[in-house]
Structure 1
Amino acid sequence: MAALEEIPGPPGLPFLGNVQDVNPISPLASIERLAGIYGSIFKLNIGGSEKLWISSQALLNEVCDEKRFTKIVSGSLEEVRHGVGDGLFTANYGEENWGLAHRVLMPDDFTRLALDSIALCAMGTRFNSFYREEMHPFVGAMSGFLVESGARAQRPAIANYFMRSAQAKFDSDIALLQSVAKELLAERRANPNDKKDLLNAMINGRDPKTGKGLSDSNILNNMITFLIAGHETTSGMLSFLFYYLLKNPSAYQAAQREVDGVVGKGPITIDHLSKLPYIEACLRETLRLNPPAPVISFYPLPDSTESPIIIGGKYEVKPGQSILALIPEIHRDPTVYGDDADLFKPERMLDEPFRNLPPNAWKPFGNGMRGCIGRPFAWQEALLAVAMLLQNLNFRMDDPSYNLLIKQTLSIKPNGFYMRASLRDGIDSLDLEKMLHVDTSKERLSENDQKLSKDLSSSGKPKQPMSIFYGSSSGTCEALARNLAREASGRGYEARVDPLDAAVDKIPKGQPVILISSSYEGQAPDNARHFVEWLENLKGSDRLKDIKYAVYGCGNHDWVATYQRIPKLLDTEFENNGATRIADTGVGDVAAGDIFEAFDKWQDSCLWTQLASSAVPEEDVGLEIDIDSSARSSRLRQDVRESIVLSNKVLTAPGVPEKRHISLKLPTAASTPEPEVREKIEYLGKEGFNQEVFLKRRSPLDILEEYPSAALSLGDFLAMLPPMRIRQYSISSSPFHDPTVATLTWSVLDAVSKAGESKRYLGVASNYLSSVEEGDRVHVSVRPSRGSFHPPTDLENTPVIYICAGTGLAPFRGFVQERALQIAAGRKLAAAYLFIGCGHPDKDSLFSEELKKWEADGVVKLHYAFSQSPEISKGCRHVQDRLWEEREELRNVFQSGAKLYVCGSSMVGEGVSVMTKKIYAEAADLLGKTKTDEEVEDWFQSIKNDRFASDVFT
């Protein structure tokens, strides 16, 4: 036997143990954070009881051996026993009633229950939750009972004695649950029937081993158990499923196509459910990532003779000690699911790869004899619900920027997740009821024309409809869309503005359709991903015949490979599927200048000249202004929330561009009277615009200050201003350090204005942030990085190379801070290298002392390039020069599976890309395998988003 090792864990406090390491509001997130730090096994001492937590498939496989370990009822589940006693899910090891109920309820009758809700199928009653505004009282009592059970599990037992009101509510909820169950049981005994449902099985069933039946108290306990378990877990599974489908448009479209191909337009039957393998894979993958019951508790068999009890070949388990399996982390074990274990990929859960998984790698339904007895029913219920919804409805996120938040009671569910539903094309509300019950596959469905309101213009003539759809991540394209809608109103159109995802399968005909979108590293914006996926799957049909469209694209030419990819795709796919182009595609280049000016020119020279003959111009246009300074967060349309400033400090020495670090606690001329002034302003608006306004970055306010006699109304002035957009910064801290605090590291833009030496050119957001003080509140929205810009899943075996310049260090400080915590906890991680470009070691070398300490602790190896002091950085002025200097070591590390990460300006991104290709080409030459430029470029493209991740900003 190998030498035993001490099981790691966070240091605790006297008497209290690790109570401060677990947030009582979100305990699961706290435990997952600790698993990220300590690895596959760690211990926690809560209230004097030391429990082990495991988070790997190998360890779970051991404790699932029912000859060595068994389920233990603890935590929230132990508190649930107050309401359901020794029901199937809460009975302790060896309790007689569990064996009786399990043997009575295991026959096939249970798996052949009719497909409806758990209450109707199992107990012949209807709660009719959809027919009233308020939930049935049972649901409210159940929710309160579960929330309080979770709360009681987190506090010392003696505390419950003093919380009289909470105890009274707990008791009343239990009483209501039992009262409803008693009424159902009494009604069935008074009016018996021969239904083959769960209630009759419990009333009439006899244990084949002992011949005993279930007592009324045991029947009541199990009735409540099934109502709670059947409602909580299935609703959670479906909520998570639709979150992942809407976040992954290709999976959503594949699932909907499967339903269309198997079921068609008729009612769904039992025969269809076995022919939906992709939806089954989606359900399995959903349960892998977010099993509604996220923890399974074990302990050694009480009568075990094993001594000592060893798991993992080196960790001792004490007799009676609890072992809690953290299922969401086990389901992400990279040794089983690979480096993309955090991604939603249903293909890995199709029948064949699912069957080939190692034992106990997928455990959402519990273990062995104590596994979920309702699994077959829940599976059929979920398949039916998903198929019916996808057959008849299209869905999109209410907030495309929403990222998963967890609400935890006995089980887990998404918190704050809302989606919008609309009938699919060709289906209207009058047909839907018939479609659910009558086979209409051979009938022609009614046309679902969008009827837009025909508002009258001031000329008394009806306006014509126009639809404007946008794909926007930062708000620019949405601002363009809304500006176009205002302009359209004055030209005789009634324009409707929606995100592109709202147009899936519902693009209006008989009116102009304008598409405005950007690309993000070649991918569609969040609120356009489903539309792009749907459009690409039309595959050259005539589905878009009779649609007239125009496309305007926003992009940045610095990203050569992906510049304007999504706008070009929209234009090409519309044309290929039969639509008619109204005007040439417009192109807005952020790097080239004012994107709003370019958009105005496209409107005037292309769009409106083609539409001029078909609309009725507005004769009188007025402008009303309502100034509301309190609604900024909603106007930004980015789901921002208020955060509190904890600290704000300067990182650089005087005399160099200022860089700062902040900690945030989460959550016209015609109106000018003077001829000379009019003449100068007209010049600025025409031939002098580029030289005197754009290149000098002069704002409308600069011009008004220079020509104060220009009489400009407030409305005209506001119309000239581009709308405020959100600013996006990389977080420079790790949630493992403190999940309630995020830090930002940024450069303050404060330079001499090109409009005159007496003026300063100030960055709006960077200067605002530099002025906030401790206790101030700012509005923020925390979002994950897109693509592969995340630490690798298999930290122990994947080396990392971080490359940055300036404040591009921000995300890597967070990555390295996380590594420092993991290494301090005893984990052995693969090597990490950090290449940093900056000016001078004494002036703008950010976090230098912190980084030196981490290097001394073996967390990361540092390589600097000082542009002002190259003599102390091996002659390297720029970070890409330092890459070349260290290329031999980098080649060896890369060959061992390393991932490269780059963060900085577009110049840094381009410089690192060029140098990476140069190092590869030289390596090929050394091996006698010289590569052409084209072959080198193909290699580089093949590693992007897999082993080369970038976060480049302008």
Structure 2
Amino acid sequence: MEPAADGSPRTLRRVPGPRGWPLLGVLPQLRRDPLAFLTQAAARHGDVVKLRLGPRRALLVTGPELIHRVLHNSEGRYGKAAFYDKLVPVIGHGLVTSDGPFWRRQRRLVQPAFQRGRLAELCALVCAVAGERVAAWADIARRGAALSMHRETMALTLEMAVRAFFGTGLGGDAEVVRAAVAELQLGINRRMWAVTGLGARLPTAANRRFRAACAALDRIVYRVIGEGRAGAAQGGALLAMLLDARDEDTGEGMSDRELRDEVMTLLLAGHETSATVLAWTWYRLARHPEWAQRVAREAREVLGERDPVYDDLSRLPVTRMVLEETMRLYPPAWFLARTAVEDDTLAGIRVPAGTTILLSPYVTHRHPEHWEAPNEFRPERFDPQRAVERPRYRYFPFGAGPRRCVGEAFAMMEMQFAVAMAARRLRFAAASGGAVTPMALVTLRPREEIRLRPALRED
């Protein structure tokens, strides 16, 4: 979009965008089908689209260079959007919901737990859980039964997260954690596009279950933190790393509340995103057996029958290509929100402080100006030899800039090994006809059930 004829930036009033309802703006359209609405808005109005979200003014930004300016944020003009405040009652002030100096301190404390050396410590745990799940699927294959794949991947990645944080010492509380996490994720999805917070305060059965689940998970998290501080930890390696983290300037660690908030953030946000990507990956591999065969061949050549080790990740490029293409089509974080904390200019548009900026990896990842045949599954796009062809910020499944997902490397490790370990033993075929479409909640969950039939590989 060009500046005004006199060279001055355009005002928001002159930015094109879809018409909305009185008072509500475009919130009804967003609630009905956010993926279609945002995709159509960008196609019709360009890289910057004006949206009215109830009383808030917002811009949908889909151009890579503009996305870079907002997310790289080297001048501090954009901060966390108020949208994420809806998550505070559950995850508190963790990395997703905090901002400013406190966020920077927490990022410094949490980030070392996800560096290469620490991930190597977690590799055996991840692969043990994946191996158990693959063995269970092999038994199902022998019986000729089918799997509900999203349900399976949710169980798989939750078990990885539970063992990473709590170890194997939860006993009967392990099932309490699993049930509480499932209930909290349902509640968060219900609250996501709420116009007001009134519904969350009503004395409904769903709200009572939500609060009870939060209290149950809090009780267990605080107990394990207390045991860790007392030196009697039954917790897992990841929680131990967070307990040991110290601020390099002050030498202080996290308080119990700060630890609780980061555990809840990583437990709730981290496991669902990985689970959803894995479900879509196996859905796509079932529809593209030539790529499933390539993944299987690679897994057998690299891993054989042994347990994977961390350094195997770099030896599984085909598996990574498949995952990256799946995340292009079904990005785990399908939208991001920021707020202009001071006046700025984007694409010749004056952006006043307080304006909400919406970024959608889903829209940008499927934009025909940035991708050839954008709706087709083509993992070869992510061949490492072609990386130079891909401009920055047209692909950002884990976000980008200073607030890029802190757990990205852990997520890629668990997904890459899970796919490879399954591929060397099993192939998957669709157990029911028809395409499966994405549903935009906190993550891009499958709207229809992904039912796949596993079979033992004989090739």
Identify the TM-score tier after normalising by the shorter chain.
0.7 to 0.9
- 1:48 paired to 2:87: no
- 2:99 is the alignment partner of 1:78: no
Deviation at 1:195, TM superposition (A): 8.9
Q: In the alignment, which residue of structure 1 is the partner of 2:401?
A: 368
Contact residue 392 and residue 424 of structure 1 kept, 8 A: yes
How many angstroms apart in 2 are the aligned matches of 1:205 and 1:19?
Answer: 41
Q: Cα distance 1:201–1:269, how it changes in 2: closer, same or farther (>3 A)?
A: closer
- Paired with 1:204 and 1:249, the residues of 2 have a C-alpha distance of 45
Asked if structure 2 preserves the Cα contact closer than 8 Å seen for 1:295 and 1:324, the reply is yes
Query: Given the superposition, is the C-alpha separation of residues 402 and 15 from structure 1 closer, same or farther in structure 2, using an over 3 Å criterion?
Result: same
Counterpart selection for 2:457 from 408, 420, 424:
424
Shift of 1:222: 0.8
Asked which structure has the greater CA Rg, the reply is: 1
Q: CA, structure 1 residues 310+150, in 2 after alignment: closer, same or farther (shift >3 Å)? A: same
TM superposition shift of 1:386: 0.8
In the alignment, which of 193, 201, 219 is matched to residue 154 of structure 1? 193
Q: 1:86 to 1:95 in 2, by over 3 A?
A: farther
CA contact (8 A) 1:113 1:377 kept: no
Match of 2:154 in 1: none
2:265 matched residue in structure 1? 225
Matched, 1:214 2:254: yes
So what's the TM-score if we normalise by structure 2?
0.82
Q: Which residue in 1 is equivalent to 2:139?
A: none
Name 1:798's counterpart in structure 2. Answer: none
> Structure 1 residues 292 and 55 mapped into 2: Cα distance closer, same or farther (>3 Å)?
same
Deviations 1:781-819 (A, max 9, x none): xxxxxxxxxxxxxxxxxxxxxxxxxxxxxxxxxxxxxxx
* 1:390-405 matches, cutoff 5 A: 390-399=423-432, 401-405=433-437
Q: Structure 2 CA distance, aligned partners of 1:397 and 1:55?
A: 34
Aligned partners of 1:113 and 1:196 also within 8 Å = no
Structure 1 residues 95, 141: CA separation in 2 closer, same or farther (over 3 Å shift)?
farther
Q: Secondary structure at the match of 1:16?
A: coil
Deviations 1:609-636 (A, max 9, x none): xxxxxxxxxxxxxxxxxxxxxxxxxxxx
Corresponding position: 1:324 with 2:332: no
Equivalent position of 1:311 in the other structure: 346
Counterpart in 2 of 1:350? Answer: 383
Q: Contact 1:71 / 1:298 at 8 angstroms: preserved in 2?
A: yes
Query: Residues 123 and 174 (structure 1 numbering): CA distance in 2 closer, same or farther, change over 3 Å?
Result: same
Q: 1:73 and 1:176 mapped to 2: Cα distance? A: 29
Equivalent in the alignment of 1:902: none
2:101 aligned with 1:58, yes or no? no
- Displacement of 1:145: 2.2
Alignment check: 8 A CA contact 1:55 1:329 kept? yes
Q: 2:180 aligns with which of 135, 141, 150?
A: 141
CA distance 1:195–1:51, shift in 2 (3 Å): same
- Deviation per CA, 1:555-610: give whole Å up to 9, x if none: xxxxxxxxxxxxxxxxxxxxxxxxxxxxxxxxxxxxxxxxxxxxxxxxxxxxxxxx
Measure the CA separation in 2 of the matches of 1:101 and 1:136: 29
Q: Where does residue 198 of structure 1 map in the other structure?
A: 238
C-alpha displacement at 1:191, in angstroms? 4.1
Aligned mates of 1:56, 1:113 — CA distance in 2: 39
Match of 2:111 in 1: 106
* Distance of 1:169 and 1:342 partners within structure 2: 39
Specify the code of the residue in structure 2 equivalent to 1:105: V
Measure the CA separation in 1 of the matches of 2:303 and 2:200.
56
Q: Which runs of 5+ in 1 are unaligned?
A: 426-504, 506-954
Q: Provide the C-alpha distance between the structure 2 equivalents of 1:247 and 1:272, rounded to a whole number of angstroms.
A: 26
Match of 1:180 in 2: 220
Q: Equivalent residue of 2:376, what SS? A: coil
Q: Is the 8 A contact 2:228 2:234 kept in 1?
A: no
Q: What amino acid sits opposite 2:297 in the alignment? A: R
1:19 corresponds, among 14, 18, 27, to: 27
For the 8 Å contact 2:277–2:327, the answer to whether it is kept is yes
Of the candidates 123, 139, 164, which is equivalent to residue 121 of structure 1? 164
* Matched AA of 2:20: G
Higher helix share: 2
Quickly say closer, same or farther: Cα 1:269–1:212, change in 2 above 3 A: closer
SS at structure 2 position matched to 1:50:
strand
Aligned residue runs from structure 1 range 677-696, under 5 A: none
Counterpart contact for 2:163–2:236, Cα < 8 Å = no
2:242 & 2:305 partners in 1: Cα distance? 39
- Structure 1 CA distance, aligned partners of 2:166 and 2:252? 22
Using a 3 Å threshold, how does the CA distance of structure 1 residues 112 and 74 change in structure 2: closer, same or farther?
farther
* Alpha-carbon shift at residue 209 of structure 1 (Å): 1.9
Report the Cα offset of residue 196 of structure 1: 8.5
Partner in structure 1 of residue 3 of structure 2: 2
Q: Aligned residue pairs: how many?
A: 410
Q: After TM superposition, give the deviation of residue 19 of structure 1 in Å.
A: 2.9
Alpha-carbon contact 2:329-2:362 (below 8 Å) kept: yes
Q: Report the Cα offset of residue 158 of structure 1.
A: 5.6
What is the 5 A alignment of 1:558-573? none
One-letter amino acid of the structure 1 residue matched with residue 406 of structure 2: I
Mapping of 1:240-279 within 5 angstroms? 240-279=280-319
Distance 2:34 2:431 in 1: 28
Shift of residue 220, structure 1, vs aligned partner: 0.7
TM-aligned CA distance change 1:111 to 1:268, over 3 Å: closer
**Compared CA separation, residues 257 and 61, structure 1 to 2 (3 A):** same
Residues of 2 paired with 1:168 and 1:277: CA distance?
Answer: 46
Q: C-alpha offsets along residues 459-496 of structure 1, whole Å, 9 cap, x if unaligned? A: xxxxxxxxxxxxxxxxxxxxxxxxxxxxxxxxxxxxxx
CA RMSD of aligned residues (A): 2.7
Instruction: Determine the C-alpha separation between the residues in 1 that align with 2:384 and 2:407.
Output: 21
**Would you say the 8 A contact 1:146–1:409 is kept in 2?**
no
1:720-742 CA-to-partner distances (Å, cap 9, x unmatched) read xxxxxxxxxxxxxxxxxxxxxxx
Measured in 2, the distance between the counterparts of 1:65 and 1:199 equals 30
> Where do residues 815-826 of structure 1 align in structure 2 (5 Å cutoff)?
none
**Deviation at 1:372?**
1.1
How big is each residue's C-alpha offset from its partner over 1:501-542, in whole Å with a ceiling of 9 and x where there is no partner?
Answer: xxxx5xxxxxxxxxxxxxxxxxxxxxxxxxxxxxxxxxxxxx
**Does residue 298 of the first structure (1) align with residue 338 of the second (2)?**
yes
36 and 164 in structure 1: CA distance in 2 versus 1, 3 angstrom threshold: farther
CA offset at residue 258 of structure 1?
1.4
1:413 and 2:445 are equivalent in the alignment: yes
31, 56, 59: which one aligns with 2:38: 31
Q: Tell me which residue corresponds to 2:367.
A: 333
The Cα shift of 1:325 comes to 0.3
Q: CA deviation at 1:135?
A: 8.9
Counterpart contact for 2:398–2:405, Cα < 8 Å:
yes
Does the CA-based 8 Å contact 1:100-1:213 persist in structure 2? no
One-letter amino acid matched to 2:111:
M
Q: Is this contact kept in 2: 1:87–1:218, CA < 8 A?
A: yes
CA distance, structure 2, for counterparts of residue 161 and residue 64 of structure 1: 31
- Is contact 2:335–2:358 with CA below 8 Å preserved after alignment? yes
**Alignment CA distance shift 1:262-1:7 (3 Å):** same
Give the gaps of 5 or more residues in structure 2: 127-159
The code of the aligned residue for 1:86 comes to H
Q: Which has the higher strand share?
A: 1
Q: C-alpha offsets along residues 40-81 of structure 1, whole Å, 9 cap, x if unaligned?
A: 322221221111112232321222231244342443x32111
**Structure 1 Cα separation of the partners of residues 161 and 236 of structure 2:** 14
When residues 243 and 127 of structure 1 are mapped into structure 2, their CA distance, relative to the original with a 3 A threshold, is farther
**AA in 2 matched with 1:53:** L
Percent of pairs with identical residues: 27
Structure 1 residues 335 and 34 mapped into 2: Cα distance closer, same or farther (>3 Å)? closer
Q: Is 2:278–2:415's contact at 8 Å kept on the other side of the alignment? A: yes
